[in-house]
Amino acid sequence: MPVHNVEIAQTLNKLADLLEIEGANAFRVRAYRNAARLVESLPRSVADMVAANEDISELPGIGEALARKLKEIVETGHLAALEQEEKHVPAALSDLMKIPGLGPRRVHELFEKLKITDLASLEHAVREGKLRTLDGFGEKTETRILEYLNRKTQTGNRMLLVTAEQVVESLLKTLRGVKGVKRVVPAGSFRRRQETVGDVDILATCADSAAIMRRFVGYEDVAEVIAHGATRSSVILRSGLHVDLRVVPEECYGAALHYFTGSKAHNIAIRARALQAGLKINEYGVFHGEARVGGATEPEVYAAVQLPYIEPELREDRGEIEAAEKGQLPKLVVLADIRGDLQSHSTATDGQAGIAEMAKAARKRGYEYLAITDHSQRMTMVHGLNATRLAQQIREIDRLNEKLSGFRILKSIEVDILENGELDLADEILKELDVVVGAVHSLFTLSREKQTARIIRAMDNPCFHIFAHPSGRLIGERDAYEVDLERLLHAAKERGCFLELNAHPMRLDLNDAYCRMARELGVKIAISTDSHNPLSLDFMCFGVGQARRGWLEKGDVLNTRPWSALQKLLKRDG
């Protein structure tokens, strides 16, 4: 039974949560969290590395002790250290740690004083008014808790795209290895690169449908077989992901792929257009009366209704059909267009690799530049940089750049935007940087007007270039703070600033709608990974997927340019 990276990371994070609730050493807790973050970003399966007898301790930030724990999880599916901790602290308390405003001390207090052990008992206590009996737990805390629980209910069993990808890729690899299989392709929201995935549809063409169906329902990760048929089977994986497999004839493949890719709204619009032309389109093909006249490929489906091919990421019935009609579909940005990454972190703050190692990893990916954007001094919990330490880092980067050819490490900072809109470091030091990335990391509860004014004032500073993760959301865990993003886009346009599309799969911030608005306003977007280790640089593909959903072309993206062109764009008067 395969153990996926996401499951290993969840185990490590749960152990870190329980240790933190119990008041364990902060460095020990951070080690587990860093290991979880690393495992989540690995392009390879830890299980495969263990099977190949590779030395896991050579991974960044993973020593021999952590390597043994990773191997234990892979080989047994359990972690003795976690099971031991669960004897003292209920495992479900880790779920409470995800609620904004409930840190480890408060969760411990809820457990000790109100005997709260999970989300259900927490909700009951809130509705009974019991939290108000504790110091520091007032109406605002209750509101935040109920909002979180409501959001969790609405999200249901949807899974982050990155998690679904880790789970599905190993299944796809298994199915593609079945004798006689020609194609195995995922469809649905997975193919459209939505932020979260509820279920996955897989289409296959093959010589022997019975063989691939047997392998599918017998896959080691299957928890439950819902249906097992000759051409369609349905299972639930251990992760909870619902997966359907359909075997389709070659002559129907394009129509089936179009149909199951969706979206529903896009398909309805295409079918309506077909009816106007005297045609019928369904998952079996394009028909004129009873005669199939197309459907072997997706371009055939679109050609039947006098349209060019529409990329999957655009298929949401948000104007893509009208744009296709007019010949105005965007030529979407692709991963190969990206020439550098404009947000990454080093061991100077909360990163897991040194600057030279991060630069080496960026060069390996074909990049021409990498911005090192460690946190500024206000972020004391991650040892944020003050002016003195930033000056030292600037000198270090200068020394490294002297030895590099064809690649540039950009001197940068992820500087906190303070409550009054001032930046966390003085202009004198910020002027020495190649790129200044501003971010909100505090006071998420400010009113919409105050939060917006705060950020615009930061943009007024001529040192400011890029506004990072603009809404502050964490998908499925933390809502965006109240802010007028349309007004911020206009402000950025007026001041010559830019906004970031943070490619971390838990952020994907900006969302697709605001990416499109930025394009329409002429505000360029930086797609950045926010990498804290070399492997997280691979998150760029998720940012590009989001950018494509937002109709962004190569020219709309800041970091598709060589440094010489980018440097000119970053210059501001004053």
Q: Do 519 and 426 share a structural domain?
A: yes
What is the structure's pLDDT at 154?
65
Is 106 domain-assigned?
yes
Domain boundary pick from 277, 298, 325: 325
Q: Do 351 and 444 share a structural domain?
A: yes
- Average pLDDT of span 421-448: 96
Given its phi and psi angles, is residue 484 left (phi above 0), alpha (psi -120 to 50 degrees) or beta? beta
Is 376 domain-assigned?
yes
Q: Do 213 and 111 share a structural domain?
A: no
Q: Which whole-number Å values give the CA distances from 554 to 53, 188, 337, 548, in the listed order?
A: 42, 25, 7, 10
Beta partners for residue 196, in sequence order? 160
Q: Which whole-number Å values give the CA distances from 510 to 146, 195, 331, 351, 506, in the listed order?
A: 25, 11, 20, 23, 12
Summarize pLDDT for 166-201 with one digit per residue, the tens: 889 989 999 999 999 999 999 999 999 999 999 999
Domain at 18, CATH number: 1.10.150.110
Is 360 domain-assigned?
yes
Per the structure, the count of domains in the chain is: 4
Domain boundary pick from 120, 155, 190: 155
Is 136 domain-assigned?
yes
Across the chain, what does the average pLDDT equal? 93
How does residue 252 score in pLDDT terms, banded at 50, 70 and 90? very high
Antiparallel, parallel or unpaired: β 222-228 and 196-197: unpaired
Domain at 392, CATH number: 3.20.20.140
Q: Do 563 and 472 share a structural domain?
A: yes
Q: Do 240 and 150 share a structural domain?
A: no
Which residue did the predictor score with more confidence, 67 or 136? 67
Name the strand (E) or helix (H) holding 237.
strand 232-237
Q: Do 11 and 145 share a structural domain?
A: yes
Instruction: Give the N- to C-terminal CA distance of the chain in Å, as an integer.
Output: 61
Domain at 284, CATH number: 3.30.210.10
What is the structure's pLDDT at 342?
98
Q: Do 219 and 183 share a structural domain?
A: yes
- 426 burial type by CB count under 10 A (0-12 exposed, 13-18 middle, 19+ buried): exposed
Residues spanned by the domain of 307: 252-325
Q: Do 435 and 310 share a structural domain?
A: no
How does residue 287 score in pLDDT terms, banded at 50, 70 and 90? very high
Is 330 domain-assigned?
no
Q: Minimum mean pLDDT among 23-27, 176-180, 301-305, 361-365: which range?
A: 23-27
How many angstroms separate the CA atoms of 556 and 22, rounded?
48
What is the structure's pLDDT at 574?
44
Domain boundary pick from 121, 155, 189: 155
Whether pTM exceeds 0.85: yes
Q: Do 207 and 102 share a structural domain?
A: no
How many angstroms separate the CA atoms of 353 and 348, rounded?
9
Q: Do 559 and 446 share a structural domain?
A: yes
Is 21 domain-assigned?
yes
Is 139 domain-assigned?
yes
Tell me, what DSSP letter sits at residue 301?
H
Summarize pLDDT for 196-246 with one digit per residue, the tens: 999 999 999 998 999 999 999 999 999 999 999 999 999 999 888 999 999
Is 471 domain-assigned?
yes
Please, are residues 501 and 543 in contact by the beta-carbon 8 Å criterion? yes
Q: Do 398 and 263 share a structural domain?
A: no
- Average pLDDT of span 499-524: 97
Q: Do 512 and 391 share a structural domain?
A: yes
How many angstroms separate the CA atoms of 168 and 245, rounded?
12
Q: Is the model's pLDDT at 155 over the cut of 70?
A: no
Beta partners for residue 242, in sequence order? 199, 236
Q: Which whole-number Å values give the CA distances from 496 to 470, 488, 491, 493, in the listed order?
A: 16, 12, 8, 5
What is the structure's pLDDT at 192?
98
